Amino acid sequence: MSRVALRADVLGDGHLSLAWDAHPNPSRHTLLIQRTGSVPAYTSIGLDGSLRRYEILSLSRHQRYLVCMLASRGKKTACSDWLSVTPRAGLAALPSEELRGFESRIARVDRLHVMPQERRLTAFWHCSPGFADKVAVELMRGRRLLGRLMLEPEVKSVALDASRGIAIEPGKRHTIKLFTLFAGTAVQGPPPVVCTPAPQGHEREANREHPQAHLIYPTLSLAPELRIFEDESYGDDEPELEIRCAHCRAEVHWQDYRLLCSRCGAEFIPNGRGEYLECSRLRFGTCQCCLPRKILVQKAGSSSLVCAHSGKEHIRMPGRGGYSLIEDLPYGLCQCCRPRQPLVRSGETIRCSRSGELHENQDGQYVWAPSQPVFDASAIDELLDAGLAEICSTGVSRRRN
């Protein structure tokens, strides 16, 4: 593909107008924006291939941005030169001497940990700042590929089990590796992690021969609150902890990574203060990312729900009860809102659940086909300046605390 010619004009304070040419016609465009500073931040917006102009409002007039446009068709990608822009009246966009291409700005998985359980492996990771379309997770047993998941960059952990069509076999060595993808370029992450699934209570023994630096094990503390004073001890007569069901008074046992009543099946969860809460009575219920389950809590001043342990955000799907994880959304997240919202099917089209903006599937990704090629970026800088968000590969996501 021929090179993209990108032009940027500052129409006023915070108002940036972009126009470009790309031949032949690409299937989609990707606008790259790097906010400079002591801690650079990155965002990208997927746009329909027929678009040739785009305006961004409410940028910070005191901040310098680097902008670039990618045009893609299939596996072919063309890149414009980077432009340096300070959106302040009277200042012009200039060619950037800092960047060439985009490969050096792709995010990379730099930390990976795995928790092995009986028929479930949970991977936790962290990505460096940069651009990414997807995070790819591959699970191998020997030389056999058991499954490959393509996840949104906002996702920071995933459970691999039968619910995702992956058959975990206890007692067999499994290998998990991660890498990031952007504009057809793959960037390898840390070395693969080898682990062995095992029944509850035998995880450490089964994985003893593997390197331990990147393995974590499921635990559930059933002890009461910590004693503050050293002399507060029962000595040899310390009573054993016994938990009984609030309904039928039968004993509650730790089985299948859950606290379950042996008679009526009621499930309980510890709150970390020596108390046990019945899951069915929790206001928001329990998370879908951890095993043992953890409590869902609501952020102050927000409708966002996060797992109290992992910090993973749970999103309410319109027309459905309960909450979903980002990786379980059937169509992923939109490109038009910040923070991004779930995409839903509306008749024969896929639209944002909040704005109703149309999104089209281009080369396996949903990109925005805006009704008006104007984007108000005020929410971006407000969230960033308040420390409540971070710019990631495909937009602004709420920061994990």
Tokens for 28, please give them: 């989609």
Number of domains in the chain: 2
Is the pLDDT assigned to residue 206 strictly greater than 60?
A: yes
- Decide if 128 contacts 106 (C-beta within 8 A): no
Q: Is residue 9 part of a domain?
A: yes
- b vs e for 110-126, b when ≥16 Cβ sit within 10 Å of the residue's Cβ? eebbbbbbbebbbbbbe
Residue 383 · residue 34 · CB < 8 Å: no
Kindly report the average pLDDT of the chain as a whole number: 83
Residue 89 sits in the same domain as residue 25: yes
Closest by CA to 147, choosing from 397, 327, 378, is: 327
Same domain, 85 and 174: no
Does residue 121 lie within any of the structural domains?
yes
Structural contact between residues 321 and 313, judged by C-beta atoms closer than 8 angstroms: no
Residues 126 and 199 in one domain: yes
Q: What average pLDDT score do residues 229-248 get?
A: 63
The confidence score (pLDDT) of residue 88 equals 93
d(CA 313, CA 326): 8
> At a CB cut-off of 8 Å and minimum separation 6, what does 146 contact?
139, 140, 166, 167, 174
Examine the domain organization and report whether 156 and 95 are in the same domain: no
In tens, the pLDDT along 106-158 reads 999 999 999 999 889 999 999 999 999 899 999 999 899 999 999 998 888 89
Query: Which whole number is the average pLDDT over 211-229?
Result: 70
Which residues contact residue 84 at a Cβ distance below 8 angstroms, ignoring those fewer than 6 apart? 64, 65, 66, 93, 94, 95, 96, 98
Say which amino acid occupies 127. Answer: C
Position 386 in a domain: no
| Residue 294, token pair as written in the block | 């953890």
Asked whether residue 186 is assigned to any structural domain, the reply reads yes
The answer as to whether 263 is a domain residue is: no
pLDDT of residue 10: 94
User: Do 18 and 65 fall into the same domain?
Assistant: yes
**Residue 13 within a domain:** yes
Residue ending a domain, choose from 206, 238, 262: 206
Give me the domain span that covers residue 59: 5-105
Give the pLDDT band of residue 274 (cuts 50, 70, 90): low
The pLDDT of residue 100: 82
Tell me what pLDDT residue 180 has. 96
Tokens 């492996």 found at? 121
| Range of weakest confidence among 179-188, 212-221, 230-239 | 230-239
Both 62 and 152 in one domain: the answer is no
> What confidence score (pLDDT) does residue 225 get?
46
- CATH number of the domain residue 19 falls in: 2.60.40.10
Determine, yes or no, domain membership for 305.
no
Instruction: Determine the 3-state secondary structure of 248 from DSSP.
Output: coil
The amino acid occupying position 139 is L
What's the pLDDT at 375? 61
DSSP state of 327: G
Residues 64 and 96 in one domain: yes
73-87, 148-162, 163-177, 226-240, range with the lowest pLDDT: 226-240
Q: Is residue 83 in a domain?
A: yes
pLDDT at 47 over 80: yes
Query: Is 98 in the same domain as 176?
Result: no
- Cβ-Cβ contacts under 8 Å for 159 (sequence gap 6 or more): 120, 121, 122, 289, 291
User: Which among 204-213, 305-314, 357-366, 383-392 has the top mean pLDDT?
Assistant: 204-213
Q: Are residues 144 and 117 in the same domain?
A: yes
In this predicted structure, what is the pLDDT of residue 11?
92
Residues 156 and 173 in one domain: yes
Of 42, 49, 40, 32, the residue nearest 101 (C-alpha): 32
Same domain, 196 and 148: yes
The pLDDT-based confidence of 385 (bands split at 50, 70, 90) is low
List, for residues 275-289, the tens digit of each pLDDT value: 788 888 888 888 888
Give me the mean pLDDT over the 304-329 stretch. Answer: 77
From 172, 206, 240, the end of a domain falls on 206
- Confidence band for 400, pLDDT divided at 50, 70 and 90: very low
**Residues 186, 138 share a domain:** yes
φ and ψ at residue 187, rounded to 5 degrees? -120, 115
Judged against a pLDDT cut of 70, whether residue 273 lies above it is answered with no
Last residue of a domain, one of 63, 86, 105: 105
Tell whether the model's pLDDT for residue 321 goes beyond 70.
no
Contact 176, 158 (CB under 8 A): no
